[in-house]
Structures are given as structure tokens and as C-alpha cells.
Structure 1
Amino acid sequence: MNDKGYGLGLPLWQVVALAALAMPRVFLHDAGVSVPGPVQGLLVFLPPAAWVAVAVWRRIAAPVVTLLAVGGLYGVGLAVVHNLFWSTAFGDRPPELGGNLAGRLGGAEDVVLRVATTTSSLLTGLVVGLICGLVATAVLRRKPR
């Protein structure tokens, strides 16, 4: 395999590293660590900006594909951290289903909520990756070669 792993335009280790840039905010948030507003802003916006910057700087041919992969890995990280920190985040008051399903699923309720959290995390990562990929594509199309 060449250095552009799996046709992503970047070596696989760089795809993983870009996804990892976004993980400190997730750990801090789920651990209940409060950070000042400006630092929080950097933790939120700097990683996706770095994804776009790398795609543009490296002139990746298909930035949407590459950054979808980065976002997908970020989504997996989100899901893992959310599930690992479940008890820390919710303490003695775990989430519960409401409406017609309130109290009807017994022990399966936790599984349903964790599956929903995992699905949401994966979709969040993919959407962030897609948006970043579209931004990088737009920048690359405007930038002269």
C-alpha cells in the first residue's frame, strides 16, 4: 500500500491523527471539566478548521471522502467516550425514556439509550466531516493551482 492509505489522499495515521485532534473536548466535556469560553471555542472550532486546512494544503483530490473518513473516526471516538463516561456524565440520574415507553423496557432501556447515543455520535462525526469536506472542496475550487 502506498503512503496515501485506502485512497484517502493521506496516510491512514494522518487520518487518525486528524480525528484525534477533536477528542480532548469530548473527554473534558464528558468528565465534567469546565473550561473557559475562549478555550472551549478553540476546542470546538480548531480541529475542524485543521481538517479543512490540511485538505487544502495537501490539495487532496477528494476532500469530502477524506474528511468523511476523519469525521467517521471522530464519531467512533465520540461514541466510545460517551459510553465510557456514561456514569460520570449522568451520575445517579441516568437518562430515561419518556412518553409511552417510560418504564416499559426494564433493563433494555439502558441498551436502547446507549445505541441511540452511539448512533447520534456516529452521525455527528459524519456530518462534521461532510461539512468540512464541502468547505475544503469550495476552497480548493477557488484557489488557483
Structure 2
Amino acid sequence: MRSSLTLVLSLSVILFGSLVGGGHARADGDPAKGLKVFNKCAICHSAGAAGGAQTGLDLTDVFGRRVAAAPNFDFSAALRAFGADGKTWDDALLARFLADPGGVVPGTNMAFVGLKREDETRHLIAFLKSLTPAAPGP
């Protein structure tokens, strides 16, 4: 009886998670593929050994960091206001932001129009997590 209840609860959690996360990227991407996707970001951002121009923030350790809280970077007023309530960059928030930066944070200085393919978003998030040693696994 107890194992049946555990199974039902486990399936409920999985079903609930898939409904809540509907349309958003999951954390099961491939970091190597994410590095290739990162080439779109490297025009402005750097991350670990991926290099890139420094117009944007270095994205090393971005996963789990408070929004607009990295030291020594001048964030836009819009991004500071968006993060003022303590939001942190997690799978769901990164997926939303990467899909439509200007829609999620109107007034952001980030000119990128967003990733339209969910698989690219998953892979990019996996890459960013690989640059954050304390990030949870998939």
C-alpha cells in the first residue's frame, strides 16, 4: 500500500512539474551544444573560456545569482527594477528571459531578440550551469 502511494505521489509530482513548466526549457540540455548556442551571446558576453566582447556581463556563475546583482557591472535601470524583489536566475527565469529579453524586462539594454527554439534554450542553460560549480544538476 505504501509503495503504491509513493508511486502515485511521484507520478503526480512529475505530471504537475510538466504542467507548470509547460513550454519552458527543461534542465536536460547538452552543455557542449549550449556552447555552440552561446556563440550568439558571445557578441556581447563572455563566459568562462568561451570568450567574447565585454559589452555585456560575463555570464560565468550567472545560474543561481540574483538578477542584476553581479559586482562591477552597470545594469540597466529596467533590469535592476526587475530584480529588486530578489529574483534569481534559475531554469525557468532564464528560459523566459532567453526567449524574449525585451518582453520579460521591458527597457532592458540587451538588444538580443531571443532564442526561438526550446532545444537551444535548454542547451544554453546547461552550458551556463556548467560554468556555475554549485548549480544543481538536471
Give the shorter-chain TM-score range.
under 0.3
- Normalised TM-score (structure 1): 0.24
Greater gyration radius = 1
Q: Greater share of helix residues, 1 or 2?
A: 1
- Normalised TM-score (structure 2): 0.25
